[in-house]
Amino acid sequence: MVQVWKSIDMKFCSRCGHRLSQKLIEGRTRRVCESCGHVFYRQLKVGAGVIVERDGDILLMRRGAGVLAFPGTWCLPAGYCEHDEAPKQTAAREAKEETGLEVAIGDIFGIFFFDDDTRGNGIQIVYRATVIGGELSSDGTEVEALAYFCPEDLPQALAGGGHDQTIRAWKRSCLRE
C-alpha cells in the first residue's frame, strides 16, 4: 500500500540532516534516512478539549479569520497536547487560554478521530468540565467570539478536526435525555 504524502512532508533527517528516501517497511512506504538508518513513523496527533455547559447550553468559540485551520468556524476550547502534558492538563490549559475560565476536568465525553485537518490526522479527547473560576473573555484575534448555544440552535459553520463530530454527538446526547 503506497501512502499519499499530503501537506506535511519531511525531506531531511531531523537526527543527522541527510536527505530522506522512501522505503517499503511493514507494508507502508515510509521516510528512511540512508545515512543513520532512522525510520520516521508518522503517527496520529493528540488533542484535548472541553465541553463546558451552562443551564444546558454548550460553550463554543469562533476561530479567528487568520488562524491556520478552519478559520471563522465554531469549535470547542481545545488544542494539541504538548509532548510532556497529560491530555487533562491540555484541556484545562486550553480552556484557560481560549476562554479565560478556570475549569475542573471531569469524565471523558468521547474520543474523536479526524482526518480533515491539513496539519495532520489525529484524535481529540473531549472531557466534560466545570467552571471553578476566571471570567469569560476572548483575545479577539485567535478567538473572535465566545458564546453559549442550546442544542436546538447550534451555529452552522462548525470546525473540523473532531469538533463538528463532538458538537453533533453532544446535541444527540442532549436530545436523548
Separation between Cα atoms, residue 103 and residue 92, nearest integer Å: 6
Q: In the bound complex, what is the minimum distance in angstroms from residue 21's beta carbon to Zn ion?
A: 11
The three three-digit cell numbers of residue 125, written as one number: 479527547
In three-state secondary structure terms, 162 is coil
Q: Are 131 and 101 in contact (CB under 8 A)?
A: yes
Q: In the bound complex, what is the minimum distance in angstroms from residue 78's beta carbon to Zn ion?
A: 34
Q: In terms of CB distance, is 24 or 36 closer to Zn ion?
A: 36
Q: In terms of CB distance, is 34 or 139 closer to Zn ion?
A: 34
Pairing of strands 45-54, 122-134: parallel
Q: In the bound complex, what is the minimum distance in angstroms from residue 17's beta carbon to Zn ion?
A: 7
Q: In the bound complex, what is the minimum distance in angstroms from residue 25's beta carbon to Zn ion?
A: 15
Angle, CA of 101, 104 and 106, to the nearest 5°: 130
Separation between Cα atoms, residue 81 and residue 91, nearest integer Å: 8
Q: In terms of CB distance, is 16 or 150 closer to Zn ion?
A: 16
Residue numbers of the site for Zn ion (CB under 5 A)? 13, 15-16, 18, 33, 35-36
Q: In terms of CB distance, is 21 or 137 closer to Zn ion?
A: 21
Written as one string, the DSSP assignment of 11-44 is -B-TTT-PBEEEEEETTEEEEEETTT--EE----
Q: What is the DSSP letter of 159?
A: -
Q: In terms of CB distance, is 18 or 172 closer to Zn ion?
A: 18
Q: In the bound complex, what is the minimum distance in angstroms from residue 71's beta carbon to Zn ion?
A: 36
Q: In the bound complex, what is the minimum distance in angstroms from residue 122's beta carbon to Zn ion?
A: 26
Separation between Cα atoms, residue 111 and residue 23, nearest integer Å: 32
Q: In terms of CB distance, is 18 or 54 closer to Zn ion?
A: 18
Q: Are 105 and 92 in contact (CB under 8 A)?
A: yes
